[in-house]
Amino acid sequence: MMYDFNGKKIKIADEDIERSMTSLGLSKEEAIQVWLEDEGYLDNEEQNMLEQKAKANNITATIHDAAKGKPRKERKVVKKENPLKKDVISTIYSALSAKFDNVSIKNDEKYIDFVVDGREFTINLVEHRAKKEKKS
């Protein structure tokens, strides 16, 4: 909607006016006045007082600093040893080495690479988590 404010045409979104009317229970004129005050076209003593109080308490700075946050401390990732997976990989490695040439372990708990007839293969060992019981 276009609103004439002291000879100046101002475009106000109808959604803003409707939202103020429904959520705050205002008439259309009151909703327009609230919008003009929020956008700085009109002064509202109560709003100015609350704004000064917030600035004095440094509330907005606290809010904006909280969004930035403190830099996270980097932590080192500690790899858990899995002897069962190592044993499975070594067993598979032994079986493949007996039959094929060019067998190598990329990761002692995860990957084995080998070549058969000029074609390259990789075995990826994945351990699945146990399923959780459903609570009723």
Q: What is the pLDDT along the chain (136 residues), one digit of tens a residue?
A: 888 877 888 888 888 888 888 998 889 888 888 888 888 777 778 878 888 887 777 766 666 666 566 666 788 988 889 999 999 999 999 999 999 888 999 988 999 999 998 899 999 999 998 888 887 6
Q: Evaluate if pTM is beyond 0.85.
A: no
Do both 48 and 103 map to the same domain?
no
DSSP assigned state of 42: S
Beta-bridge mates of residue 11:
2
Q: How many CB atoms lie within 10 A of CB 36?
A: 17
Separation CA 96–CA 93 (nearest Å): 5
Do both 54 and 89 map to the same domain?
no
What domain range is 100 assigned to?
A: 83-124
User: Are the beta carbons of 21 and 27 closer than 8 angstroms?
Assistant: yes
Do both 55 and 93 map to the same domain?
no
First to last CA, the chain: 54
Do both 24 and 61 map to the same domain?
yes
